[in-house]
Amino acid sequence: MQILLRSFGNLRRIIGSELHLEMCEGSLLRDLLLSLPGHERLLDGLKIRDDVYVLVNGRSVTDINTALKDGDEIAIVPAIIGG
Amino acid sequence: MLRRVLYIDLTRGESWVEEKDDLFEEWLGGTGVATQLLLKEAPAGVDPLSPDAPIIFSIGPLSTMFPAMTKTVAQFKSPLTGELGECYAGGRLAMAMRFAGHESIVIKGRAERPCYISIENDNVKIREATSIWGIGAGRVGVILRDVEKGVGRRSIIRIGPAGERMVRYAAVIVDTYRHFGRLGLGAVFGSKNLKAIVISGTEDVSIPDSKRYREVYNRIYRMVVQTDAMEKYHDLGTPINVNVLNQLKGLPTRNFQSSSFAEAENISGERLAEEYLFRRVSCAHCPIGCIHIAMLKTAFTPHHEFEVRRVSYDYEPIYSLGSNLGVTTAEGVLELIDACERLGLDAMSTGVVLSWATEAYEKDLITPQETLGVPLQWNNVKGYIKAMENIVAAPNDFYAALARGVEFAASRYGGTDFAMALGGNEVSGYHTGPASIVGQLVGVRHSHLDNAGYSIDQTAAKKQLDPSSMVDQIIREDDSRSVFNSLVGCLFARGVYTDENIIDALGSVGITKSREELTELGRKIFLEKYRFKSREGFDLSKARIPRRFFETVSTLGRIDPETVEKMIALYKERRGWA
Ligand code: SF4
């Protein structure tokens, strides 16, 4: 199945701004995240780090065992920064 | 340590210094001390633009002695909201005040003619400024650099035409690229015929135990430069938030009509860093360098030479003058930021005033006669620049109303449902959820920086937070920031300045405080600020929340007005005001 992945902020330098990925049927979000370069910047053990947001089709997802489906759009976003 | 207050009376042309050990002992410095000076020096109900209204500047006990302890707080009665005016600026001002030996400065009165103040240690001169009145803030800085002493140890702060004309949200420009932006300090300068202040000095600071100081200093310095606590501010800086908020549906767009912007990428921190960034600079005594400077290249006239302008950018102006005005190019946003700088306007208030005006124009609440033919349309950068110039020149009632802020303009022309102010102050760029709204509403200066409600909403996007725990967090931030702002550190460094590090740093300069004492002090300072606010007429029960907040989807989905009401009621109860 085809997955479109986008990343933002300083994560872009590690992951790239836009990737078209071919994943096996039945893949989970964790499979995708663990396949990315610099995945330690995204995961704290098997949890998404507090300062990273993963959106699947625009919705924030915290469960890395979420099943992916063909055509999913995933955004990996760092936390808001400021005073 | 010198704990002195410099008083300057512009009406009488006099200045004097008072030692105020007890004041600093009890209230630490910065905002704690400034609040006490404001309560004492501002007569109840004073007109903010009258000679009797004071301006207070304060630094803190760690200023320039520890990394990122770089800010100066200004307090005054705000001509925009009619209650507490408070804003912070970095640059070199805190360093120059430290060298001059004054932890606070109080300015009162009104000069007969345009003037600027030159301070060198205890030596204060009030000088004629007729020849620089009417000149843009950038140029005034260049002129004063030439005629005043103190190179390397001085700071120059000044107003532009907006301050002279008393636009209620005029800024004071601090050195290069820093500002006392919010709540109209520039107008208060203008009302006093005060164009600029130059300050420098040669005082030493004595440290009681230099070995201990060095040890604590080195530990904190290492945390600043060797951990990732502050790196993100140097890297892309706060403009990283453009794409982040756009993805999280929290980026105010076209006057909060939407929370995502199709052209966000064009005005994002990533795009600016790739194509426009040419250097980063720092406040004095900060190793981070988060001030991002873009190079804006424009043609003088078609087919002729180019002009290159250096424009500093961060997230808030990109929101207010960018997505919020539907501006689709980085050049457009930089042009608008540069126009604010030239005129001496606060970028955030200006953007929100113009976004309200654009929507009001679309809805026929305002006529082309009133705009004097200026097309107020999303993404019309030239039109917006002309409108800004008109806000400053106030050629008719409409622009004079815009110069008094969005709350006032909407009270005259209608459209209060989409006049995006809280507590009378134009709002910040986070449509993240209820904590951002409540945080700005209850905050002492109605700013996202009072308690970072947006950050609480962001946490809630991942884990369930009920209204009650959100309110508790807002109160904790309100109070702990009152302590940090009494040290007047840069809020970007607050992750480094844990309670333990603050206690150690204070101890190393001879000030002993326990965690409990600091917690209690934070609460007391917050309540003292509310004493000023209430005295000047602020009433939380009557505060208006624009309906637009509840119409547009936020990071946490559609915001329920009942949740916000409940949080305000809980807040009042926990503060003991119910
Ligand atoms: S982090 Fe930025 S704003 Fe803060 S003190 Fe350093 S340079 Fe100034």
Instruction: Determine whether B211 is exposed, middle or buried from the number of CB atoms within 10 Å of its CB (0-12, 13-18, 19+).
Output: exposed
Domain B234-396 sits in CATH at 1.10.569.10
Task: List the domain boundaries for chain B.
Answer: 4-200, 234-396, 432-494+514-575
Q: Is residue A83 part of a domain?
A: no
Instruction: Determine whether B163 is exposed, middle or buried from the number of CB atoms within 10 Å of its CB (0-12, 13-18, 19+).
Output: buried
Q: Is residue A6 part of a domain?
A: yes
* pLDDT, tens only, B38-72: 999 999 999 999 999 999 999 999 999 999 999 99
Instruction: Tell me what pLDDT residue B280 has.
Output: 96
Task: Locate the DSSP E strands across B282-380.
Answer: 291-299, 306-313
Q: Which residues constitute the domain of residue A10?
A: 2-78
Find tokens 């003088």 and name the residue: B300
Q: Is residue A70 part of a domain?
A: yes
A38 interfaces chain B, CB cutoff of 8 Å: no
DSSP category for residue B400: H
Q: Where residue A9 sits, what CATH number does that domain have? A: 3.10.20.30
A66 within 8 A of A56, measured Cβ to Cβ: yes
Nearest neighbour of A81 by CB, restricted to B238, B247, B461: B238
Q: Is residue A41 part of a domain?
A: yes
pLDDT at B300 over 90: no
The DSSP bridge partners found for residue B291 are: B281
Atom of ligand 1 nearest to the CA of B71: 5
Residue B492 is which amino acid? F
Q: How far apart are CA B56 and CA B106, in angstroms?
A: 5
State the distance from the centre of ligand 1 to the C-alpha of B357, rounded, in angstroms. Answer: 33
Residue A14 is which amino acid? I
State the distance from the centre of ligand 1 to the C-alpha of B238, rounded, in angstroms. Answer: 11
Instruction: Tell me what pLDDT residue B301 has.
Output: 77
Residue B330 is which amino acid? A
Mean pLDDT of B357-373: 98
Interface predicted TM-score (ipTM) over 0.85 = yes
Domain B4-200 sits in CATH at 3.60.9.10
State the distance from the centre of ligand 1 to the C-alpha of B235, rounded, in angstroms. Answer: 12
Give Cα separations from B265 to B19, B54, B130, B364 (angstroms): 53, 44, 45, 31
pLDDT at B111 over 80: yes
Residue B414 is which amino acid? G
B103 within 8 A of B4, measured Cβ to Cβ: yes
CB contact under 8 A, B236 and A9: yes
DSSP category for residue B173: E
Give Cα separations from B61 to B2, B94, B95, B122, B200 (angstroms): 9, 11, 12, 19, 18
Average pLDDT, chain B: 96
Q: What is the distance, to the nearest Å, from the Cα of residue B303 to the centroid of all Cα atoms in its chain?
A: 40
* pLDDT, tens only, B545-556: 999 999 999 999
Nearest neighbour of A83 by CB, restricted to B244, B245, B492: B492
CB contact under 8 A, A53 and B461: yes
Q: Is residue A58 part of a domain?
A: yes
Mean pLDDT of B261-286: 97
- For B442, other C-beta atoms within 10 Å of its C-beta total 25
Instruction: Tell me what pLDDT residue B304 has.
Output: 73
Three-class DSSP labels, B59-83: CCCCCCCCCCCCCEEEEEECCCCCC
CB contact under 8 A, A9 and B269: yes
CB contact under 8 A, B448 and A60: no
Mean pLDDT of A73-80: 96
Instruction: Tell me what pLDDT residue B227 has.
Output: 77
Mutate to test the pocket of ligand 1, among B282, B285, B488, B494 (most ligand atoms within 8 A of CB): B282
Q: How far apart are CA B113 and CA B476, in angstroms?
A: 46
* pTM recorded for the entire structure: 0.97
Alpha helices in A1-83 (DSSP H): 12-15, 29-34
Instruction: Tell me what pLDDT residue B355 has.
Output: 98
**In 3D, which of B186, B139, B179 has the Cα closest to residue B392?**
B186
Number of domain units in chain A: 1
Instruction: Tell me what pLDDT residue B477 has.
Output: 98
Nearest CA to ligand 1 atom 7: B282
Q: How far apart are CA B397 and CA B390, in angstroms?
A: 11
* pLDDT, tens only, B506-518: 999 999 999 999 9
Q: How far apart are CA B329 and CA B575, in angstroms?
A: 45
* pLDDT, tens only, B64-76: 999 999 999 999 9
Counting DSSP H helices and E strands in chain B, the numbers are: 23, 17
B17 within 8 A of B476, measured Cβ to Cβ: no
In chain B, what's the furthest Cα-to-Cα distance? 70
Confidence of residue B152 (pLDDT cuts 50, 70, 90): confident
Give Cα separations from B399 to B186, B214, B388, B407, B413 (angstroms): 18, 55, 9, 14, 12
Q: Is residue A43 part of a domain?
A: yes
DSSP category for residue B429: S
